[in-house]
A and B are shown apart, each in its own frame.
Chain A
Amino acid sequence: MNPRWNDLNQMFGAMDLLRNRMNRINRLFTDYDRAWGGNEGWPMANNWPRTNLYDDNDHLQLVAAVPGLAKEDINIKLQGNYLEISGTRKVTVPDGYTAHRLERGGETSFSRSFTLPVDIDIDKVEATLKDGILTLQLPKAEVAKPKKITIN
């Protein structure tokens, strides 16, 4: 083989390796950035509870991860398209026990507010709590629902 050609080939080989390395690093970073990767967050952080918002044309659905909260611990306030979820998480050392490890953040109050993208039919909102997941079904106000327009 021509020695020049060999050099070239080697260079491309090195570039490929480098590109591969970069891909791997990038992958690491997307995983790192991913909100639900690694730690699930602490109540004292201002983005607690972790929340998802979905839109299925007629409804908005807000889903929040609130482990350890009973329904009495949560306050939900809705005004127009302004939604506020607040409450207190009671995580206390049980009587007569000594603590070895405390990662769950102790007793903390939290508050998180959202400006929803559309107005909501407040009377028809439903909230459920199951397995530490709070789900709000938020029907869109009639004016905010998508309408099909027929062409004359």
Chain B
Amino acid sequence: MSEKMELVNREEQSPVAGSKAPTVVPSVDIYENDDEILLYADMPGVTKEAIAINLENGRLTINGHRKVCGSGTAQLEEFGEVEYERAFSVPQGIDINKVKANMTNGVLSLHLPKSDAVKPRQIEVQAG
């Protein structure tokens, strides 16, 4: 057999790419005010234990796992087990220690407070 054929065979034996839960990009809304950046992400079926948020080197990653919901023979199946995954670049001046996350009704809310150095400030003019 030629070398080419062996290569082909090898790939056919490799596990099928679709065997693990498909990765889904959650829809997000991002808001900002003077004090913070606020992010909402739709992740229905993800419990707060099944979510991981990482902030490292100015990169925010959100990971969430949803198990199959429901039991019995499926008559209709439009969603299933997924791996939610999304990454963002976070601007400088976020106070990493004060980042807060909350999970309500399958929606992740993430508060990213700005550090005092980047908050807009009113400068008072002193009479001299």
Residues of A within 8 A of B (CB): 9-10, 12-13, 16-17, 20, 27, 30-31, 34-40, 42, 47, 50-57, 59-61, 63, 65-70, 91, 93-94, 96-105, 117, 129, 131-133, 135
Contact = CB atoms under 8 A, between A and B. Distances in A.
A65 B69 CA distance: 10
Nearest to A30: B18
Contacts of A13: 2, 4-5, 8
Interface stretch (B39-47, B52-60, B93-101, B113-121): B39-47
A59 B45 contact: no
Which interface class (under 10, 10 to 19, 20 to 34, 35 or more) fits B? 35 or more
Contacts of B25: 38-39
B106 A68 contact: yes
A132 B44 contact: yes
Contacts of A31: 17-18, 22
Contacts of B107: 67-68, 132
A37 B44 contact: no
Contacts of A93: 31
Nearest to A100: B30
Contacts of A63: 69-70
Nearest to B16: A27
B74 A50 contact: no
Interface in B70-87: 70-80, 82
A131 B106 contact: yes
A100 B33 CA distance: 10
Contacts of B72: 54-57, 59, 61
Contact of A35 (B28, B37, B38, B77): B77
Given A52-B74, A94-B38, A100 B79 contact: no
Contact of A20 (B12, B22, B47): B12
A65 B70 contact: no
Contact of A104 (B1, B27, B69, B75): B27
Contact of A51 (B11, B37, B46, B78): B78
A6 B78 CA distance: 50
A61 B70 contact: yes
